[in-house]
C-alpha cells in the first residue's frame, strides 16, 4: 500500500504495555484494530488501557476526536494480520523471537501491507533477516504511554525502502504523533541511548548510597526535566551560554567533561542492589496503585502538552497540528460532535462545571470555523472571528463519563457577523445546555470589523441555505432576568 489515507485496519501482534498502547492510539484516531496475544487476559488488559487512553485523549482533544475505531481480539496471528493494511509488532526484546514471528506475520499478511516493529533498540536489518521482502519492514519505536507521548522513532534496515518509511511516517502523523526518521541504523536509536546514559548514572547513585530513587526522580522532575519537556538539551544549553550562545557555553563548561563525574558503564545489578531499588521504589510509591499512577501521569502529560499547545511549541505544536487536522474532518452540523465528560470537568457537586460547558461549546465553534475555511491558516493570514457576545443556559446535569453531544445551527449571518446556536444533549437525547454566540469577523492587523473573505462568506451562505428548513430554537434571543 502506497497511500496512508487508504489505511483503515491495523493488525497488532503483542498486547503488553506497548501493544495495548498502540491499540488505544490507533483506535482513538479512528482506525479499526485487530490484536493477537496468547494471554487469556488480553481483552481485559487492553480495555483497561483503552479506558485510560480515552479519558486522557478526551481531556486533550475533546469534541475534535473522530469516531472511535473498533478493537477486536483476534483468535490467531493470521486472524489479526491477514486483512490488515498496516501491522505493528510489539513482542519482547528477544531478537530470535521477533525474527521468527515477523516471518510468520509476513507469510500471513497481504503482500502490500507494511510491517512495523516497536523494538526499542534492536537493529531492523537483523530483525528482518528471515523475511522474504524486508523492503516493507520498518521500526516504529514509540514511548510509553503510546497513546499520549507523540514521539515515534522510525528506522529502516538495509533493505527498507524509503516509500515504506514515508508511509509509516504519514500513518503515525495521522494519529497525532511526531515521527523522527533515524538517519543511521544504530543500536538503541536516538532517544533510548540518551535515556540509557541517565539510567546508568542513576543506578550508580543508588548503588553508591549517594541518593535514593525518590531523590533522583526529584532531581529530574523539579529541575532539568521541566526544561527537557519543551527545549531538550542543546537548545537549553544554548540559552545557558547567554548572548554568546553555544560556543561560549562549550568553552565555559566543556572542560568539566574531562572530569570523572559519571560512569560510562552500568553497575552490576546484584541481588542486593535490586532489593534496595525495589524497596525504595515501593516506599516512593506510597501505596498508590498502578492505574491511579497511570491516570496521574496522563493528567500531567495532558496539562503539559495543552500548555505547550497554547505556545505552539515542541509537543504542543504537534498537538495543535493534529487538532487542526481533526477539525478539518469534522462536520459543521448534522452529525454533531461527541465527547465524554472528563473527571477534570467535574465540580464539588459531581456535575460538569461551568467552564467545561464553555470549553465544549468553544470546541464546537472552532470546528464550525474550520469547516467554513476560517481555521488556523485563515487566522495566520490576518483574518479571524471574535466572539463578542455569549449566552449559556444550563438545563440539565452532565456527569462523569457521560456521553454528550453538541450540534450547531446558524441563526443568521451578514457580511461581518455570524449568529450561531449550539445545543448540547445527553446520552438519552435530553437537552443539557444551549449556547448562543455572536461572532464578529475582524481584520486582525487593523483590529476592527471587516467583511468576510469571499470563500468564507460563500461557505457560510451554503450552510445557511442547508439549514433553512430548521425550526428556529425557542430559546434563541433569550435574556437573563427575574420574572415580573
- Assign residue 345 the CATH number of its domain: 3.10.129.10
| 211 within a domain of the structure (yes/no) | yes
116-152 tens-digit pLDDT: 999 999 999 999 999 999 999 999 999 999 999 999 9
Using DSSP, state whether 231 is helix, strand or coil. Answer: helix
Pair 346, 201 in one domain: no
Task: Tell me what pLDDT residue 423 has.
Answer: 95
Q: How confident is the model at residue 332 (pLDDT cuts 50, 70, 90)?
A: very low
Strands (E), 223-351: 337-340
Helix axes 315-329, 290-310, angle to 10 degrees: 80
Residue 440 placed within a domain: yes
Residues 214 and 243 in one domain: yes
| Last residue within a domain, chosen from 224, 253, 287 | 287
Tell me the pLDDT of the chain averaged across its residues.
92
Per-residue confidence (pLDDT) for residue 476, from 0 to 100: 94
| In a shared domain, residues 457 and 363 | yes
In a domain, 476, yes or no: no
Kindly state the percentage of the chain with pLDDT values over 70. Answer: 98
> Does the pLDDT at position 315 exceed 90?
yes
Give the Cα separation of 86 and 75 in Å (integer).
18
462 pLDDT higher than 80:
yes
440: part of which helix (H) or strand (E)?
A: strand 431-443
Q: Which of 65, 10, 68, 75 is nearest to 43 (CA)?
A: 75
What pTM was computed for the model? Answer: 0.76
> Are 94 and 128 contained in the same domain?
yes
**Cα angle 277-278-280, degrees, rounded to a multiple of 5:** 65
Specify burial of residue 380 (Cβ count, 10 A radius: 0-12, 13-18, 19+).
exposed
More confident residue, 478 or 76: 76
How sure is the predictor about 334, in pLDDT bands with cuts at 50, 70 and 90?
Answer: very low
DSSP 223: I
Would 113 be classed as within a structural domain?
yes
Is 80 exceeded by the pLDDT of residue 256?
A: yes
- Does some domain include residue 297? no
- Do 98 and 37 sit in the same domain of this protein? yes
Residue 484 has pLDDT above 80, yes or no: no
- Asked if residue 244 and residue 108 are part of one domain, the reply reads no
**Distance of alpha carbon 129 from alpha carbon 152, whole angstroms:** 23
Closest CA to 462 of 371, 384, 387, 379: 371
Higher pLDDT among residues 467 and 63, named by residue: 467
pLDDT digits (tens, 9 = 90+) for 182-198: 999 999 999 999 999 99
Query: With 90 as the cut, is the pLDDT of residue 328 above it?
Result: no
Are 235 and 364 in the same domain? Answer: no
In this structure, of 30-34, 298-302, 308-312, 428-432, the range with the lowest mean pLDDT score is: 308-312
At residue 76, does pLDDT exceed 90?
A: yes
Considering the domain architecture, whether residues 162 and 274 belong to the same structural domain is answered as no
Which cell numbers hold the place of 416? Answer: 461581518
Q: Count H helices, E strands: the chain?
A: 17, 14
**pLDDT, average across residues 299-316:** 90
How far apart (Å, rounded) are the C-alpha atoms in residues 346 and 158? Answer: 52
pLDDT of 265 over the 50 cut: yes
Contacts of residue 484, Cβ cutoff 8 Å, sequence gap at least 6 = none
In this structure, of 63-72, 216-225, 287-296, 338-347, the range with the lowest mean pLDDT score is 338-347
**Phi, psi for residue 405 in degrees, rounded to 5:** -135, 135
What's the mean pLDDT in 159-173?
Answer: 97
399 lies in the same domain as 436: yes
Helix (H) or strand (E) holding 355: helix 354-371
Q: How far apart are CA 383 and CA 26, in angstroms?
A: 35
Across the range 338-363, mean pLDDT stands at 84
Query: Measuring CA to CA, which residue among 370, 366, 372, 376 is closest to residue 317?
Result: 376
348 and 376 assigned to the same domain: yes
* Residue 473 domain-assigned (yes or no): no
State the Cα–Cα distance between residues 364 and 345, nearest whole angstrom. 17
Distance of CA 466 to the CA centre of its chain: 34
Q: Higher pLDDT residue, 394 or 376? A: 394
Decide if 481 is inside a domain: no
The angle subtended at Cα 461 by Cα 459 and Cα 466, nearest 5°, is 95
Mean pLDDT of the 350-354 span:
87
Claim to verify: residue 150 and residue 213 sit in the same structural domain: no
| pLDDT value, residue 290 | 86
What strand order describes the sheet that includes 86-89? 71-73, 32-36, 9-13, 86-89, 114-117, 137-141, 151-156, 178-181
Give the pLDDT score at 336. Answer: 61
* Contacts of 133 by beta carbon, 8 Å cutoff, 6+ apart: 106, 111
3-state secondary structure of 114: strand
Tally of structural domains, the chain: 3
DSSP state of 471: P
What is the C-alpha separation between 90 and 17, in angstroms, rounded? 9
What's 57's domain CATH number?
Answer: 3.40.50.720
Question: Whose CA is closest to 5, among 225, 241, 167, 180?
Answer: 167
Q: What is the pLDDT of residue 87?
A: 98
Asked if residues 208 and 268 have their Cβ atoms less than 8 Å apart, the reply is no
Q: For 222, how many CA atoms within 13 A lie in the half-sphere containing its CB? A: 6
Mean pLDDT, to the nearest integer, of 413-429? 94
Lowest mean pLDDT among 288-302, 430-444, 447-461: 288-302
Alpha-carbon dihedral angle through residues 445, 447, 450, 456, given to the nearest 10 degrees: 60
pLDDT at 452 over 50: yes
115: pLDDT confidence band, cut at 50, 70 and 90? very high
Whether the per-residue pLDDT at 306 is higher than 90: the answer is: no
Rounded CA gap, 349 and 121, in Å? 49
Domain check: are 166 and 218 in the same one?
Answer: no
Q: What is the CATH number of the domain that holds 235?
A: 1.10.1040.10
Band (pLDDT 50/70/90 cuts) for residue 478 is confident
Q: What angle do CA 198, 201, 205 make, to 5 degrees?
A: 135
Q: Is the peptide bond preceding residue 145 cis, with omega within 30 degrees of 0? A: yes
Residue 331: the pLDDT is 57
Check pLDDT > 80 for residue 285: yes
Structural domain range at position 242: 191-287
The reported pLDDT for the residue numbered 376 is 84
Q: Decide if 480 is inside a domain.
A: no
Amino acid at each position: 500500500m502506497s497511500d496512508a489515507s487508504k489505511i483503515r485496519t491495523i493488525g497488532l501482534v503483542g498486547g503488553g504495555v506497548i501493544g495495548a498502547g498502540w491499540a488505544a492510539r490507533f483506535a482513538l484516531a479512528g482506525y479499526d484494530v485487530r490484536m493477537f496475544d496468547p494471554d487469556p487476559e488480553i481483552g481485559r488488559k487492553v480495555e483497561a488501557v483503552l479506558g485510560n487512553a480515552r479519558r486522557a485523549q478526551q481531556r486533550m482533544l475533546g469534541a475534535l476526536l473522530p469516531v472511535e475505531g473498533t478493537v477486536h481480539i483476534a483468535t490467531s496471528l493470521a486472524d489479526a494480520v491477514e486483512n490488515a493494511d498496516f501491522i505493528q509488532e510489539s513482542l519482547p526484546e528477544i531478537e530470535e523471537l521477533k525474527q521468527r514471528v515477523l516471518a510468520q506475520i509476513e507469510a500471513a499478511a497481504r503482500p502490500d501491507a507494511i510491517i512495523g516493529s516497536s523494538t526499542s533498540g534492536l537493529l531492523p536489518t537483523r530483525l528482518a533477516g528471515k523475511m522474504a521482502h524486508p523492503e516493507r519492514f520498518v521500526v516504529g519505536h514509540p514511548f510509553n504511554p503510546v497513546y499520549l507521548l507523540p514521539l515515534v522513532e522510525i528506522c529502516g534496515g538495509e533493505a527498507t525502502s524509503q516509500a515504506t518509511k514515508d508511509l509509516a511516517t504519514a500513518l503515525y502523523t495521522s494519529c497525532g504523533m511526531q515521527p523522527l526518521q533515524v538517519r543511521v541504523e544504530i543500536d538503541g536509536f536516538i532517544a533510548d541511548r540518551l535515556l540509557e546514559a541517565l539510567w546508568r548514572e542513576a543506578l550508580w547513585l543508588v548503588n553508591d548510597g549517594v541518593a535514593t530513587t525518590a531523590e533522583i526522580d526529584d532531581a529530574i522532575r523539579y529541575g532539568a526535566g521541566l526544561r527537557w519537556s519543551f527545549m531538550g538539551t542543546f537548545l537549553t544549553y544554548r540559552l545557558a551560554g547567554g548572548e554568546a550562545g553555544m560556543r561560549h557555553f562549550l568553552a565555559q563548561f566543556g572542560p568539566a567533561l574531562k572530569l570523572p563525574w559519571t560512569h560510562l558503564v552500568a553497575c552490576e545489578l546484584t541481588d542486593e542492589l535490586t532489593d534496595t531499588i525495589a524497596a525504595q521504589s515501593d516506599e516512593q510509591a506510597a501505596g498508590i496503585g498502578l492505574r491511579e499512577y497511570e491516570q496521574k501521569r496522563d493528567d500531567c502529560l495532558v496539562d503539559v502538552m495543552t500548555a505547550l499547545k497554547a505556545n505552539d511549541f515542541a509537543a504542543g505544536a504537534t498537538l495543535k497540528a493534529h487538532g487542526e487536522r481533526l477539525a478539518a474532518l469534522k462536520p459543521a452540523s448534522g452529525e454533531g460532535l461527541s465527547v465524554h465528560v472528563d473527571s477534570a470537568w467535574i465540580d464539588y457537586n459531581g456535575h460538569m462545571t461551568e467552564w467545561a460547558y464553555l470549553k465544549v461549546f468553544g470546541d464546537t465553534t472552532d470546528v464550525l470555523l474550520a469547516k467554513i475555511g476560517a481555521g488556523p491558516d485563515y487566522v495566520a493570514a490576518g483574518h479571524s472571528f471574535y466572539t463578542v457576545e455569549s449566552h449559556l443556559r444550563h438545563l440539565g446535569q452532565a456527569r462523569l463519563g457521560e456521553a454528550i453531544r453538541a450540534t450547531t445551527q446558524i441563526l443568521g449571518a451578514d457580511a461581518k457577523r455570524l449568529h450561531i446556536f449550539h445545543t448540547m444533549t445527553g446520552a438519552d437525547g435530553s437537552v443539557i445546555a444551549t449556547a448562543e454566540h455572536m461572532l464578529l469577523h475582524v481584520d486582525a492587523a487593523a483590529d476592527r470589523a471587516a467583511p468576510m473573505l469571499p470563500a468564507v462568506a460563500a461557505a457560510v451562505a451554503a450552510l445557511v441555505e442547508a439549514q433553512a428548513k430548521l425550526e428556529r430554537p425557542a430559546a434563541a434571543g433569550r435574556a437573563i432576568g427575574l420574572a415580573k
